[in-house]
Each structure stands twice: as C-alpha cells, then as structure tokens.
Structure 1
C-alpha cells in the first residue's frame, strides 16, 4: 500500500489568520511585456514565460473564507456575459475587430499595441470566433486535405478595436473580461500593458487601473498566442513542438482552437463592489459569502442585504458590512430557506439570490448589487457510493468536446442547445467536460436540465518533470484548479472536480505525481464550501495515488488498445477489493467506427463492433453498481484533433455516437440509448 500523503494547504493558501479584511494584493499599474520570442531562429515560435504563471492566482483567507485573487483583485463573477446588474455599466466587445497574424513575432517591436499604430490595412475577424475557421475550406470534411488553412496558423496574432469610454467611469472600478482566449493572451489599453493570461479555456478579468481615459476613445489591443503542435504537420513522422510551462505541453488529441473564442466585455462597477457570491445550500439553510472589494481611498461602513430568492421561503437578511480602504472582506450571511426545493436530475429547481450593498441600513441608494443562481442539494460519498440527497447515483455519462463544424469552440447558444440536447436524448444523466472548462452557458444549461457534471481542467498528458515544475514553481495547474472550483462553485449540477487526464506515472516519480495531485486537491477543497468529491481520469487501474481520490476514476480501453472486453469486470473487482470504501467511476471507454461501415461485430472499425464493445463494457459495469458509480462513454460526437493521427480523415477522430458535421447517429448511439441505468 502506498503511504498516504498528508493534504496540506500550506502551498495553496496564503495564511493571514482570521482577519476581517485583507489589503488588495499589489499589482503593477503598468506591467512589462515579456522580452522577445523564446524560439530558435529556424524553428517554431514559442511563447515566453515569467517565473510563475502570469495572472498571480492565489488564495487568501479572509474572515474564515478562502478567496481567489488574480491580477491584484478578487477573481470576479463572470455573470456579466448574460446579466446586467443595475448598479453597473457594460460595454460588449463582441463585434468585428481588426486582425493580423504575426508569425515572426514582429508586432511588439513595431508597436502594434500602440493607439497610434495604423491598422487600416489589417483584415477583420469576429469576436468571439476561432481563427482556425477564418480561412480553412473543408475543415469539417473527412476527405479534405489535412494541414492547410488558418487552422494551422500558429504563433502570435493580434486583435485591435476601439472603445468609447463613458466619462461617468471616472469614479468606477473597471475591468476587461474575456471568457476565453486560446492559448494565451496579452492585453493593452491605449498602449498600457494590463497583463497576460495562460490557459485556453478559463475566463479572466483584467483591472484597467491607471490606463482608463474616461470620456475618450481608447484602443484595445490583444496579442494571442498558440503553440504549433508540430514543426511540419504533414511530415512523416511529424516532429512535436513542446513547451514545458504550457498546459497541455505537447500535442493532445483534441483541437486547440485559437483566438478570442468566447465573449468579451468591459464591466464598470462601483469602487465598493460585490465581486463574488459563494452559495452553499443544504438541509434547509443557505450559507452565503459575499466577497466585497473596496477600491476606494476611504473605509466603507454600510450594510449588505441578502435575499435568498423567490420560492426559498427565506426572508431578506441585513448584516453590517465594513470594508477598509483598498481591501477585500467577506460578509457572511446564514439564512433559513425552509421552502427551497432540493435540486436533483428529476427536479432541477434553481433559485436566484441577490446581494445588495447600501450605505444606510433602512434606506438609501444601492451602492452595488450582485445576483447568482444556486441550488439546494446534499452531496456525499459513503459506502462506495456517490449520494445525492441521500440516494445513490449511477452516472450514465458521456464525454464531449465543445466544438461544431461551423464555429469550432466559439459556439452559439443554439449550437449548445442542439449539442447538449443529444445528451438527454440518449438518456444520459451525466457529462464529463473533458478536458477543459466550458462556456458558462453549459453550466447554466446543466443546472436547468438536471444533467450532472464532472468539470475538468487542461492538465492532460503531463510528464513527471512538468508535474514537478507545476507544483514547485510555475503553478499553472494549481491556478486552473482554483479558478475551476471558484467559477463553477454555485452550480448544483457540478458534482465532481477532475484534476487531470492520463498524465504520466513514472514509478521513480510517483512521489512527484502524488504531491502534484495533492496540491490541486487542496486547492479545490480550499474554496469549495460544498466539499464536492475529487477524482481524476487515470490511465491505469493501479494508480499509486488512488488513496488521495474521493472517487476512483480511470480510463479503460480493454478489447481495443489491450486485453479483452471481458477483462473489465475482474479489474473493477480488484480495485474495489483494494479500496472497498471508495466509489469507482469509468471516466472513459470507447472504440471507433467509420460511419456507414458495416460487418461482423468482431471486425474493428465497423459500427457493429463499436456497438458490441460498448454493450460488453456497460453490462460489466452495471452489474457492479453497488460500488461502481458510473460509466462515461468516449465520446458523444466525432471530433477534430491535431495529434498526428487520423490525418486520412482530415484529423477527425471517429469514436463518437454521432458523426462530426452531420451529427448522424451510428449503431452505438442506439445501443447507448437502450442501456438501462441500474438505479433508475
């Protein structure tokens, strides 16, 4: 038995005792851009990296609550993409921008970030969109030529636009929010460098600090970077391009869509503002934590009213709120919600809470407001089962990739509705967000439709050296874990945090691997008031860190990559014997078929073989539902990837229930639909 590693928050939480408020972290008003490309003169351009991940993501304990900070401020709620608080002002950045590729990394030296630079000769691009589809004919076709078009344009590209800044924003705290930028982005406002973000699928918000010019027209410039997957995509064999600091660090088998792939907006909030609401509802009570920032020069002495929402049975509760100048504080409110319905897949009831800051207890103008959706439910892990509201769950699940043939990862709401509708149509009650965070729309959709979610981060296929680098120095893996748990905290549909996918477990490096996982687990546990269980998608059923996991998760491909289909049952029994108290979740299993290819169910690549393989694995799992929490099929739909195989199909992996562009069902689609949930 592997020696258990104690879970310490020392590397995650900046210990500041039980202070009622903490000073906002120092952050330079003008940060310096990295110097020059880190690349060989004749090789692919690589991005530059500071000593630690560039957003400064960390946790501070504030009045007994762990608060996530980035860029010298509390990491705010990103509900502004769909809601408009009455105390705030917004400027949407979803429009056509000026755009130019910069493959030689010349733009910074030539002043492309400057408001005085003439960009009239540049092309245009929509935000949001993926530059992959800017000019790649046949991107969705299985017969098109692989390796041509903007889908293979890597390195740097620049976006520029102008914004008319209202004069009323002189007394405001202003931030620029991006829901995603792949893979990294550096941002300038009127030539002032605001900061850099790494991680293609997590939202971020940059305070504009002294760069804002209220009452003027200002230029916003964004330099986005994507590392090449290969030095030559059509070479045989292709040479991988890697970067030890990036996550993922090497080519992976999904498409790394590039650009400003989700919505962006500017949000102007009061200087005393509610940055985030954390909600934990269970057993008829609501524990609410309002994280309040004071960006002003004077202390704020006022009141916060928490309304738990219509249908909760709870009454608005008023508590004192004192926030020192240039500080953040947490105002905690505990409210009885006797009539709040429990959230469950069968009854996905959500409520909307609103926090209001005022300077006077009984009346007076609102200083700021913030609302959030939440659900009341009890989630526990006990006796080798995951239980929701006291009842054991069996997760009939699907992995899925966030993309369409028309828009890549910059999907529209109608596309989300269609894609996610396939999940409920086949009777699935669970999705795994492999292997990155999704657009906020997805979590709202899951809350409303009663679909359970395992949320993932981009930590796929890391090696031992990188696990060590991330844990001991760079910290990007920890930052991704923290922001995942912080951003998705209030969604009742999210029931599992997934820490990594198929990363290396070198026998010599097992202590490094365990320390890496323990560090990320401590990060999510630090900020999650609801104590959701933690798992990961291991590449082995004999993972040396399973004792750290709350739920044991592993990917298995018996009968495809190794062994026989029938090996799954004995493997599950062996894992259960070793960890009898822990639920087991199959995080991936699947095979492949070329749509329209038929033949014996023993012939690889036929639709019959794919369907028979699924059924064989499902039956072995369903027969062990007393300790197996679920099965997550790989994958909902055929998907695009640049990992160096499936080039004969234009990079389309054909492992889905549905085809990629047409979304036509294969035989396995019906087999999955008919598979009966053993706990229904």
Structure 2
C-alpha cells in the first residue's frame, strides 16, 4: 500500500473517555489566496453579500423564501409539465469555450451579436471535466491532465425562439445546478449571478424577454482552482473566503451546467410553491401565489389532496394584491391516506388549482406536489417514525459516475441507489451537498430515508464569522435546502455542516453560525425535522443546539483503537441523555483485490473487520444511538492533494469507482442486522 492512499478523510475526533490523539494535517491558509505569479489561478469577484439575495419573509403567517426578487419556485419542471404552463428545454448541445484569462466579458461574449461559430460544443447537462480527460475513472489514469483540471472561467451560449404568446406571461430560466458559480445573460442583458455548485435557481427575465424573436442565452461559469500546481509537492492550495467550500475538499468539484435547465413561462398570477404537510390524518397545505400583474387578483383556489387520501377537494378564497405574493392556506382531513415508511413508501399527489372569480371563472394556474403522511419525533433519546423506534443503517455517497461525473443519467441513479437497497441500508446521507431532484423522488418511492446536507465543509472560524455576519451564502444554502426538499417524506434530517474547525477562541463564533443555520431551516420547515451535523469531534461545544448529535469518527484508522468508540458514545450520552446520537461517518480503506490478515491496513479483510467492530459497538447501544452511516458507498474522485498516484480516487468504498465491483466489506455490510430486525 502507498502512503498517499491512507489519509483519505481529514478529521479528528476527541475521545472524551481517553486522551486526544494528535494527527498531522495540512496547514490551510486562514484567508483567501491564489498564486503569487500573475499567470496563476484567479479568484472570482464577489458582491458585498451572496448574489441571489436569498431571504425569508413572513407572508400571511407563513415564512416564504425569496430569491432574485421573486418567490423561490418549485423545480418540478424537469419532470412534470403543468397544463397551464409552457416549457422550453435547454438540455441540448450548447456552444462552449474556455476563458482562462477572463477576457470574454470585455470582448462581449455575452452579446447576442458575438460570433461564436468557431466555438466548440458541449452537452447540457454535463460536466466539462469529462469533455476531454483520458482515463478519468481509472486508478491508472494520468493525474492532472485533461479538462478535469481546466479551472477559471468558461462560457456557454445557445439560442431560443421565444413564442409570441409569452407576451402576457411571467418567464424564468431555471437551472438545477451549475458548478461552481454562474452569471446569466439574455441578449446581453445581465439577469443575475448564482453561487453554490449544487443548488437550483431560477432567474426572472422580465425586461429582457422579446417574445416572437430569437434570443441568445449566455452563461459564464467559474470554478476556482484547487491548487496552483496539481503535481507540486506539497501543492499550494487556492482558497476564497466567500466560496463554499472555501478551500480544497476531498470530493471532486465538477464544473459546468451539470444538471438540466429550462425556460418556464407561467401565468401572471401563478402558484410558485405548494407546501404540504401530511400527518395525523390531515393535510396542511400552503399555496404560495405570486401576482405579477398590475391588478389585484380576486379568485379561488381548489386543493385536491389526491387519489387514495380519502379527502375531498376544498375550495377557498384567494385574494392577492397586484405585484405581490400571498399564501393561501388549506387544512383538510385525509382519513384513508396510508402512512409513509421505509417498509410501505406510499406517496400521494396534491394539486392546487387557481381560478379567477368568486364563483364560476376560468382556470388560471395549477401546481401539483408529491407528499407523504408520516410523523417524525424524538423521545427518550430515540428517533421515532410513526411512533416506532427508528435505527438508521446508512451510507454516505457521492453523486458521480466515471462516465458522466455529477451529470448522472436516470439509469445511473437507479443503478447506484439500487446498491443502497441491495445492502439493506435504510438511509443515505447526501454528503455534503444537495442532490438532483431525482434522488429525493427516488427515495420517496423506494422507502429510503435521507439526511440532506449543504456545502458547508471544513470552514474555519474566519469563514464562519464571515458567513454569519456578512456574506450569508451558508444561510442561503440552508434556506433553499429546507424549502426545496420540504415535501419529501424521505427527508428526515437536516445536516448543517461537515467537520468545520473549532478552537477554544472560536467556539462562540461557531455556535452563532450553527444557530443561524438552524434558525434558517426551522423558519421554513413546517414539519420541524431534526437538525444535526457531522462534527469532527465528540466534544462539540454546540451539541446542545442539535436535535440529534452527529459526529464523524475514525477510531482505529486515524487515531486510537476501534474499541474506543463504545466508551466515547457512553460519555456523550451521559452528557446529553435526552438526545439521540448518530455516527455520521466511519470507514477505512482497501485496495480492491488486496487480501491478507484483518490486522493489516489496506486489505479488504481489515476494512471489513473495522466496519464490524464499529457496527457492533453502535448497535449494542441502540437505546440511545440512532444509527451508523458508513463512509462510503463507492470509491470516489477528489483533487485534495492525496491519492494522486491513484488518479485522485479514494478507495474507501463498498464498491470500486469505475467498475463498481464489490469489495469484501460490501457483503459484510449487507449482512449487518438492524437492531430490532432479528
């Protein structure tokens, strides 16, 4: 085994029952920096606060998320087309050009008149990493070669024929994800900028749209370099205080228009979002209605709770002032609605229909949403679903394949997530970013629970302070996570951060940052899901703020012994006796095909034995430990300065990266029995 494989996760857990073990880690810069040479990597510019203007407003007693001056809409247009709306897919080949010197803006590449005929072409969605990178998925492939290491700016351009019928419509351009940041123009008019590689956004195009003409969409995408030189020893990291994550992390930062995009034309009075809460035999729904017209709307809203619910459609008044947003609330019984659970993942479809006039009048807009009926509570240090104790046998996973990177196809999602079911896991942790909407739908339909995460990984005190007090990108990501995933019954935990640094002097800043993120998700989640995070210590000074205590531990790998886990869990439980504990990460590594004693690091036997030792200590304490989330489903790519001799592939998975071949730990994990299932 080579030393470069071994430090695949950067984390330190302080065992409360034993002396802390020091681990040599890279010295990360405390402030933003790039190369000192003028030809080195560049940093993108940032406004005073995160550019989308994401915030919450109380609208008639319901907290509503706004972005780019409008309600953050539902993003179901990638799969569901409402009959009252028009959709124009942007999934196609676009013109594409790298812009490493950042010259495109000054040369007018955003203009409709720019001649892009000599540009290359790229599929949308896709990651430019896979545009031309030999052997990307192979452990024997050449590291630091190909477009996977093209950083800085790149441009996308396409044209659309805008229907003349859209003159009386509200139109927005929706992107499910662009990594890392995107600026968008329509015929040279700047629509807005978005930061965050994994969260969807929608830009209103009022004022830039010219119905009945052909118009040009231009997108300038930026990805920061991870290092000034990927082959240097040691490599010099490139950091940016404003970005999340702000420094190199050990997963691959795929770049480009990595998920679907489309244009959506909706009525001037439109249902932007339908929030649904199904519990205790009732449906509580909030229809968030926007009125973009110059006249007040006085009509009605019909809510149908869906086939199989036992509930009848209810009609209520809907009055929305001109140029404003309102919330229409409907609560009704659904006496025959089945409860959602992993064993019986029943979902329902609610539909809101907006009509003009108090009585008879034309249909104006519709919006449907899937939801489930379930009750999630915490009592006596146990997570409970529908009043039954819940133990989580979980897997961390990264959203990528060797063939398509983060721009996965539905067939790839089905294959990868099918592996979760195949090994008997009942939870996936979306470490450490939001996933494609397909994933949440899949989890709802297949009865797999979800811990959702945002991109707040490995921050230090300076970044925590900046995010809380000024920039606000972390808060924006927390708000959009809770808003976008609100209706999914599979989502049971909000994850606030991963392994961010804590020191004695910075503890008050760290606590204030987590309190801010917790307040954000609690403000918009009507179901009050528990919050947790993946701490890098079992002695976290903010655990009193968590609903579920979560920490990553690597006893017997980075520090200490496997047997240290049990006493540590006992000590944490003694300090917080009413809170469930969740191991959010644990794992080791093995080189596929390397066999030997279970005491020899790097063998498949050692990896399997380590899992068993940790699993047994956790399940022996299932009366207060809520579960165990293994690191990781599949080997994964990263540019974090180690594993370079394996083409950046970390070999900690149950499966190999490119072939997705199971290792010994795959079968051992599959056979691990959830407490209570014996």
| 2-structure distance, mates of 1:530, 1:38 | 47
- Give the superposition deviation at 1:506: 1.5
Which residue does 2:188 correspond to in 1? 191
Which residue does 1:578 correspond to in 2? 575
Match of 2:621 among 621, 624, 629: 624
Match of 2:130 among 113, 129, 133: 133
| 1-structure distance, mates of 2:358, 2:327 | 18
Which residue does 2:597 correspond to in 1? 600
Match of 2:436 among 417, 435, 439: 439
Which residue does 1:327 correspond to in 2? 324
* Contact kept in structure 1, 2:99 and 2:154, CA below 8 Å: yes
Q: In the alignment, is residue 95 of structure 1 matched against residue 92 of structure 2?
A: yes
* Contact kept in structure 2, 1:318 and 1:361, CA below 8 Å: no
| 2-structure distance, mates of 1:584, 1:436 | 22
Match of 2:230 among 226, 230, 233: 233
* Contact kept in structure 1, 2:134 and 2:142, CA below 8 Å: no
Deviations 1:527-563, CA, capped at 9 Å, x for gaps:
0000000000000000000000000000000000000
* Contact kept in structure 2, 1:393 and 1:679, CA below 8 Å: no
Q: In the alignment, is residue 488 of structure 1 matched against residue 485 of structure 2?
A: yes
Long gaps (5+) in structure 1: 1-36
Deviations 1:268-313, CA, capped at 9 Å, x for gaps:
0000000000011100011000000000000000000000000001
| 1-structure distance, mates of 2:82, 2:146 | 42
Structure 1 pair 77/481, CA: closer, same or farther in 2 (3 Å)?
same
* Contact kept in structure 2, 1:38 and 1:47, CA below 8 Å: no
| 2-structure distance, mates of 1:320, 1:342 | 30
- Give the superposition deviation at 1:363: 3.3
- Give the superposition deviation at 1:209: 1.2
* Contact kept in structure 1, 2:49 and 2:472, CA below 8 Å: yes
Q: In the alignment, is residue 303 of structure 1 matched against residue 300 of structure 2?
A: yes
* Contact kept in structure 2, 1:497 and 1:535, CA below 8 Å: yes
- Give the superposition deviation at 1:679: 2.5
Q: Map of 1:371-386 to 2, 5 A cutoff?
A: 371-386=368-383
Which residue does 1:25 correspond to in 2? none
- Give the superposition deviation at 1:365: 1.9
| 2-structure distance, mates of 1:633, 1:509 | 29
Structure 1 pair 411/240, CA: closer, same or farther in 2 (3 Å)?
same
| 2-structure distance, mates of 1:491, 1:338 | 20
Match of 2:105 among 104, 108, 125: 108
Structure 1 pair 336/89, CA: closer, same or farther in 2 (3 Å)?
same
Which residue does 1:453 correspond to in 2? 450
Deviations 1:386-441, CA, capped at 9 Å, x for gaps:
10000010000000000000000000000000000000000000000000000000
- Give the superposition deviation at 1:43: 2.4
| 2-structure distance, mates of 1:307, 1:647 | 55
- Give the superposition deviation at 1:360: 2.9
| 1-structure distance, mates of 2:124, 2:494 | 30
Deviations 1:475-511, CA, capped at 9 Å, x for gaps:
0000000000000000000000000000010110000
| 1-structure distance, mates of 2:112, 2:47 | 26
Long gaps (5+) in structure 2: 1-33
Which residue does 1:659 correspond to in 2? 656
Match of 2:255 among 234, 255, 258: 258
Match of 1:425 among 422, 439, 442: 422
Which residue does 1:643 correspond to in 2? 640
Ranked by relative contact order (alpha carbons within 8 Å, sequence separation 6 or more), the top structure is 2
Which residue does 2:31 correspond to in 1? none
Which residue does 1:166 correspond to in 2? 163
| 1-structure distance, mates of 2:632, 2:215 | 45
* Contact kept in structure 2, 1:39 and 1:46, CA below 8 Å: no
Match of 1:560 among 545, 557, 560: 557
* Contact kept in structure 1, 2:35 and 2:41, CA below 8 Å: no
Deviations 1:598-652, CA, capped at 9 Å, x for gaps:
0000000000000000000000000000000000000000000000000010000
Match of 1:85 among 82, 86, 104: 82
Q: Map of 1:137-536 to 2, 5 A cutoff?
A: 137-536=134-533
| 2-structure distance, mates of 1:209, 1:540 | 49
SS in 2 for 1:329: strand
TM-score (norm 2): 0.94
- Give the superposition deviation at 1:89: 0.1
| 1-structure distance, mates of 2:124, 2:455 | 23
Which residue does 1:674 correspond to in 2? 671
SS in 2 for 1:210: coil
Structure 1 pair 190/198, CA: closer, same or farther in 2 (3 Å)?
same
* Contact kept in structure 1, 2:634 and 2:652, CA below 8 Å: yes
| 1-structure distance, mates of 2:501, 2:54 | 25
| 2-structure distance, mates of 1:409, 1:57 | 25
- Give the superposition deviation at 1:38: 12
* Contact kept in structure 2, 1:252 and 1:642, CA below 8 Å: yes
Which residue does 1:57 correspond to in 2? 54
Which residue does 2:587 correspond to in 1? 590
| 1-structure distance, mates of 2:159, 2:40 | 34
* Contact kept in structure 2, 1:646 and 1:653, CA below 8 Å: yes
